[in-house]
Amino acid sequence: PDGKPLSKKALKKLEKELEKEQKKKERLEREAAERAAREDAEGDCAADKYGKAEINMSQKQTNTVWTEVKNLSTAMEGQTVNIQARVQNSRPTGNKMCFLVLREGTATVQGLVDANRDNIISKKMVKYANSVSRESIVSITAVVTVPREPVKSCTVGDVELTVNSLFVTSQVVEDLPFSIEDASRSEQDYEKDPTLNRVLLDTRLNNRVIDLRTVTNNAIFKLQAAVGHLFREYLTNQKFTEIHSPKIIGTASEGGSNVFQVTYFKRNAYLAQSPQLYKQMCIAADFGRVYEVAPVFRAEDSNTYRHLTEYVGLDLECAFREHYHEVMYMIGDMFVYIFKNLEARWAHELEVVRQQYPSEPIKFDEKPLRLEYKDAIALLRKHGVEIEDLADLTTPQERELGKLIKKEYGTDFYMLDKFPSGIRPFYTMPDPTNPDYSNSYDFFLRGEEIMSGAQRIHDPVLLTERIKALGIEPESLKDYINGFEYGCPPHAGGGVGLERVVMFYLGIGNIRNVSLFPRDPKRVEP
């Protein structure tokens, strides 16, 4: 260390230490070789019960009965089942036992490969099971057993699988960018142990295929599908017709500048900001009640927690007899139907999500609370918020209003009615008694907007006046206006952001977590 040559005594001591290490290494290698030789001599009683399966090219059908992990129960104790699942984790205990965490969809269960059973499972099979790379897909045959204590680390914890055979059907050949365990942790986990690996949002989204494998994400997108299903189910029962309108259009559908322009052969076209004009044209065509589930494109350079440039729109439009409240309250009933059925029919998925993203179930009334815009402004002012009568609510003001309404009325879900005319689109019907306001409404969940809607102008003269007042050239909307010149019933409707409903219902803090492959101003991949 001091740069001086070693003394003879020190040199001799070093040589002895090196010789000792070399002998230890040789001894360990010899013991390993002898152990391998003994095992080879003993043979492998389980040689035909494990390994890598041949590539599935649909060579045959065996009519094997497969059991889903989520359906395993104590009632199946002693039964032999066939399972296909991913190996989320493996943990050896000595050389005769290996524990596996097997995952399928939103369910996980513990598997046990145990060489202590006479001539059934070999130590080689245990070694092989432990060597299977994480996230590989395996086909196993196992006996359902009931552990002495529930396996708390698995969603199916009241049973365990004693593995009899294990074959890898799809092997992971590259290192994962992050572990499924790390991607599944809650904020509470990090508070308890700050040294745990945190998977950042960009890392998740850059490797979305891996991220989507977590049981939480699997459940989130089952719930997203459920919201779309319930939207369709309710409206179909209300005699609505599903439509499919074009997404390449000749002019901006909302009359604004937040639109994506695309080259369409020798001229320009636009990606639809909403199906608004086509919904209304269908009402003019006597469809009566229509809805659509389709992508919506917004060229807004907003990099917030709740904005996307492409999202799934749940849109509806409905003719009414006397008053737009007929439609508004029907929409309120639709949301109540969705919320109640999510809790009743998708309870398992909600439980899975709330393990990672804890939240209280939303509170709502059978008949949703309705407040007029001016009353909301008054409530905010009463609690010290400065805002003009006809000003649009900012996001912080929306959230503050949600807290005040929750405190005063005990609900997370409510409607704001009679918005100022100046902050609504050109096709919004003015209030008949005060032109500063309009027959328009928004729906809010946990203090954030999930739907915007209104009575539409169905009179062509008034519609043309409104279009000109906003500086839009009526000629660019002639096909739309013409539909009303031939007569059109009064009608109202709205547009729902699917991702926003899921995000706020589940209490998840960023909309990108509930968008399958999100698009925002900075992201167009993967």
Q: Report the C-alpha dihedral over residues 363, 367, 369, 370, rounded to 10 degrees.
A: 150
Mark whether 473 is an active-site residue: no
Catalytic residue, from 104, 292, 449, 499: name it: 449
The yes-or-no answer on residue 500 being catalytic is yes
d(CA 257, CA 249): 14
Q: Could you tell me the maximum CA-CA distance found in the chain, to the nearest angstrom?
A: 111
* Active-site option among 86, 204, 289, 298: 298
Closest CA to 137 of 103, 210, 86: 86
Rg of the chain (C-alpha set): 31
* Peptide bond just before 526 cis, omega within 30 deg: yes
How far apart (Å, rounded) are the C-alpha atoms in residues 171 and 55?
A: 10
Q: 449 an active-site residue? A: yes
Are 14 and 89 in contact, with CB atoms under 8 Å apart? Answer: no
- Which secondary-structure segment (H or E) carries 247? none
Q: Of 115, 104, 136, 130, give the one whose Cα is nearest residue 44.
A: 115
| Residue 198 a catalytic site member | no
Question: Which candidate in 185, 204, 213, 307 is catalytic?
Answer: 307
3-state SS class at 18: helix
Tokens linked to 489:
């019933």
Q: Are 437 and 391 in contact (CB under 8 A)?
A: no
452 flagged as catalytic: yes
Catalytic position from the list 446, 466, 491, 500: 500
| Strand 289-297 with 241-242, pairing | parallel
Q: What is each CA distance from 14 to 3, 7, 8, 25, 130, in whole angstroms?
A: 16, 11, 10, 17, 39
208, 229, 306, 399: which one is catalytic? 306
The Cα–Cα gap between 302 and 448 comes to 16
**Catalytic annotation, residues:** 298, 300, 306-307, 449, 452, 500
